[in-house]
Chains A and B, each alone.
Chain A
Amino acid sequence: MSRETVMSYINVFAVLKNMEELVRVDSVSEQLIKSRNIAIQFTVHKGPKAVLAFRNGEVMLTRGGGKADIKLYFFSPEHFNRMMDGKANPVPYKGLTKISFLTGTFMKLAERLEYYLRPDEEKLKDRDYFRANTEMTAYAAFFALSEIGNHDEKALHSSHAIPDGTILVKVVNGPAVTVIKEKGSLRTVKGEPDSPRCILSFSSLESAHLVLNGKLDTYTALATGRMAMRGFIPMIENMNPILDQVAEYLQ
């Protein structure tokens, strides 16, 4: 699968996915969607398909097609990726009358997302921003991990080598995601499983921030207790090369 195709999966299932979080942590975004009830389907030719639904002040992204008020079509993964970069427009084929949601609210949400995912030292001084940025970066990274592991040719090797089971990735007293390896593919979900087969933890949000932003390497983090791992380590060992690719894709 081409890099553009993998990127389109990441853009849908890791980047757009973060809108779920965005409306929880950002009051501006919360206000924007407060009274909106609308669902948008994204269909990328030879790429991903998903529905992003705004209901009762919450956002939910689901895999595949479904009921939607607006349906958008993209000729190719490149086309979709360029839209995400603000350099191309989708082709709406359903819901033309609701298109103002797309050009108005949706674009503003996209800007808010960008605001949170592109930190600078000044913004990071704000504790709430710091928390939101770290959580959303972590979600983006670990959701991207599954997409890369399932679609990138180089990563397939590593993802196939991950033994079956659950890898819990968490910040102590903070957010958690679970990467599940099952039936030959990877899946990321938010939250903690009952008995993970393997645990990768960050001692604090600060530690997670340092590692996820490449300011501290994982070996040093592990050796100094900013990170810890336990359980069936071959799961993490084979996940690591994919995590390196996450950084390449998301930079």
Chain B
Amino acid sequence: MIEAKEDTKLNTYKKSQELFQRAVKVIPTGIPGHLGPVQSQFIPTSDFPFYAEKAEGSYFWDLDGNKFIDYMCAYGPNVLGYNNPVVDEAAFAQFKKGNCMALPGKVQVEFAELLVDTIDGADWAMFMKNGGDATSFAVMAARAATGRKKLVRIKGGYHGVAPWTQVDGHAGVVKEDVSNNLFMEWNDAEAFERLIREFPGQIAGLIATPYDHRIFTDNALPKPGYWQKIRQLCTDNGIVLIIDDVRCGFRLDMGGSAKYFGFEPDLACYCKALANGYNISSVVGKESLRDAASKVFYTGSYWSSAVPMAAGIACINELKRIDGPRLMIEKGEKLTEGLKKAAEANGIDLVISGVPSMFYMRIANDNSLMMHQEFCAECAKRGVFFVSHHNHFINCSLSDEDIAKTLEVAEEAFRIVKKNNPDKCN
């Protein structure tokens, strides 16, 4: 087994572990939700940090002072770089004026105008807090518009955690929560046609991400003509086409990911890259859905807060100014090409999929993914943060030096994986 190079100091996480011991006493699971060490698939958990102390640009530092080049980007919200000065300045300026007030601020209208201007086919915008608020609102609007119950979903698609998005049999979910969901495989327009025949006049909407970016699976782009076919079927059958652009939004195209793939949805949900980490999400829609959107009563204590809206305006303008999506795709291409080369040099078959600004990767030498998990753990111990089975995220502040440093670490990690699995490497 290759030992770490003499000069490589491997990360340790004493303070994270200690804080976690306090956490489990007062918080169920210690760290609930998707950032939990189990849910994040930290394998083994001892090789990963649990808590962040601070962040800047493409990096975060954990409690123990370890610095990481971050390819999870808070699972998407970090799009311009942590603590981006342009966004923060706009947010702080609004903060001084007022945030959560008895009335919305002017920025609500300005932000809606900006999104209508920016996103192809958007005639109006509404705001909420999380991606799941947006997807749930969109589904309600589709039902309000059509008076129908059924919702078509793609198998394995993630749309948040509301009961309708979950799986029967999982804790807290009952059959009735999911009884109106119909499922089809990704990229199978014929399956959609079959569902339409099977449930005539009953389908309110189809909700799907712009491409298939699920976990544990090579991500799959739409087949040529797929979205155009789905669009036509929706139009012909009075079905509302909802695009869940929560994860992809503004990492593919400033005009929305539907524009990138050449079609127009009826409703689109945004969240992660909307405000560089300030908490806000949005549903934008076509004129034909305005009335339905008006009728659905859906709101929350913080939904009209002004600071995230000011941040959102600055973030979208900045992304436009620097052509963020193109930049991130290019950086993603550079990084993934380097990773593939480093893997190949060690007899490792690294499969890269998805759009480069949010690529998914998998070592394909074993079908258990254990080699891939070893690779991610070796990277984490050396300050490069990839979690094993989720797509990764590029942010605009990632520099060539960051990419070079990442490739250096990856090269070493691949060497170790090869050494530990000689019979599985080419």
Question: In the bound complex, do residue A223 and residue B30 qualify as a contact, i.e. CB atoms below 8 Å apart?
Answer: yes
Q: Does A158 contact B (CB under 8 A)?
A: yes
- Chain B positions 76 through 92: 1 when the CB is less than 8 Å from some CB of chain A, otherwise 0: 00000000000000000
Q: Inside 8 A of A158's CB, which chain B residues have their CB? A: 169
Question: In the bound complex, do residue A157 and residue B369 qualify as a contact, i.e. CB atoms below 8 Å apart?
Answer: no
Give which listed residue, B31, B168, B216, B370, contacts A230 with CB less than 8 A.
Answer: B370
Q: Inside 8 A of B373's CB, which chain A residues have their CB? A: 230-231
Give which listed residue, A196, A217, A228, contacts B29 with CB less than 8 A.
Answer: A217
Question: CA separation between A224 and B44, bound complex, in Å?
Answer: 10
Given contacts A219-B36, A223-B20, A223-B31, whether A232 and B367 have CB atoms under 8 Å apart is yes
Question: In the bound complex, do residue B44 and residue A228 qualify as a contact, i.e. CB atoms below 8 Å apart?
Answer: yes
Given contacts A197-B367, A231-B368, A232-B367, whether A223 and B37 have CB atoms under 8 Å apart is yes
Residues of chain A in range 208-224 having any CB-CB distance to chain B below 8 Å: 217-220, 222-224
Residues of chain B in range 28-57 having any CB-CB distance to chain A below 8 Å: 28-31, 36-38, 41, 43-46, 50
- Across the two chains, which residue of chain B brings its CB closest to A233? B41
Given contacts A219-B29, A219-B36, A222-B38, whether A229 and B43 have CB atoms under 8 Å apart is yes
Question: In the bound complex, do residue B20 and residue A224 qualify as a contact, i.e. CB atoms below 8 Å apart?
Answer: yes
Question: In the bound complex, do residue A225 and residue B45 qualify as a contact, i.e. CB atoms below 8 Å apart?
Answer: yes
Q: Inside 8 A of B197's CB, which chain A residues have their CB? A: none
Q: Inside 8 A of B43's CB, which chain A residues have their CB? A: 228-230, 233
Q: Inside 8 A of B369's CB, which chain A residues have their CB? A: 231-233
Q: Inside 8 A of A165's CB, which chain B residues have their CB? A: 367-368
Q: Does A55 contact B (CB under 8 A)?
A: no
- Across the two chains, which residue of chain A brings its CB closest to B32? A219
Q: Does B167 contact A (CB under 8 A)?
A: yes
Q: Inside 8 A of A155's CB, which chain B residues have their CB? A: 169
Q: Inside 8 A of A157's CB, which chain B residues have their CB? A: 167-169
- Across the two chains, which residue of chain B brings its CB closest to A245? B169
Q: Inside 8 A of A65's CB, which chain B residues have their CB? A: none
Question: CA separation between A197 and B45, bound complex, in Å?
Answer: 19
- Across the two chains, which residue of chain A brings its CB closest to B20? A223
Question: In the bound complex, do residue A220 and residue B44 qualify as a contact, i.e. CB atoms below 8 Å apart?
Answer: no
Give which listed residue, B37, B38, B171, B370, contacts A231 with CB less than 8 A.
Answer: B370
Question: In the bound complex, do residue A225 and residue B21 qualify as a contact, i.e. CB atoms below 8 Å apart?
Answer: no
A contacts with B, residue count (CB < 8 A): 27
Question: In the bound complex, do residue A233 and residue B389 qualify as a contact, i.e. CB atoms below 8 Å apart?
Answer: yes
Give which listed residue, B29, B41, B169, B368, contacts A198 with CB less than 8 A.
Answer: B368
Question: In the bound complex, do residue B171 and residue A230 qualify as a contact, i.e. CB atoms below 8 Å apart?
Answer: no
Q: Does B24 contact A (CB under 8 A)?
A: yes
Question: In the bound complex, do residue B21 and residue A224 qualify as a contact, i.e. CB atoms below 8 Å apart?
Answer: yes
Q: Inside 8 A of A161's CB, which chain B residues have their CB? A: 167
Question: In the bound complex, do residue A195 and residue B169 qualify as a contact, i.e. CB atoms below 8 Å apart?
Answer: no
Question: In the bound complex, do residue A220 and residue B370 qualify as a contact, i.e. CB atoms below 8 Å apart?
Answer: no
Q: Does B5 contact A (CB under 8 A)?
A: no
Question: CA separation between A161 and B31, bound complex, in Å?
Answer: 26
- Chain B positions 165 through 176: 1 when the CB is less than 8 Å from some CB of chain A, otherwise 0: 001111100000
A169, chain B: closest CB distance, angstroms: 15
- Chain B positions 152 through 172: 1 when the CB is less than 8 Å from some CB of chain A, otherwise 0: 000000000000000111110
| Best-surrounded residue of B37, B167, B368, B389 (most CB of chain A within 10 A) | B368
Question: In the bound complex, do residue B169 and residue A234 qualify as a contact, i.e. CB atoms below 8 Å apart?
Answer: no
Question: In the bound complex, do residue B36 and residue A223 qualify as a contact, i.e. CB atoms below 8 Å apart?
Answer: yes
Question: CA separation between A4 and B43, bound complex, in Å?
Answer: 39
Question: In the bound complex, do residue A241 and residue B216 qualify as a contact, i.e. CB atoms below 8 Å apart?
Answer: no
Q: Does A34 contact B (CB under 8 A)?
A: no
Question: In the bound complex, do residue A222 and residue B45 qualify as a contact, i.e. CB atoms below 8 Å apart?
Answer: yes
Q: Can you list 7 contacts pairing A with B, beta carbon distance less than 8 Å?
A: A154-B169, A197-B368, A217-B28, A223-B20, A225-B45, A233-B41, A241-B169
- For the complex of A and B, the 6 pairs showing the least CB-CB separation, nearest first, are A219-B29, A231-B368, A157-B169, A223-B37, A222-B38, A197-B368
Other A-B pairs beyond A217-B29, A220-B30, A244-B171, 18, CB < 8 Å: A154-B168, A154-B169, A155-B169, A157-B169, A161-B167, A195-B368, A197-B367, A219-B29, A219-B30, A220-B29, A223-B37, A224-B17, A224-B20, A225-B44, A228-B45, A230-B368, A231-B369, A233-B369
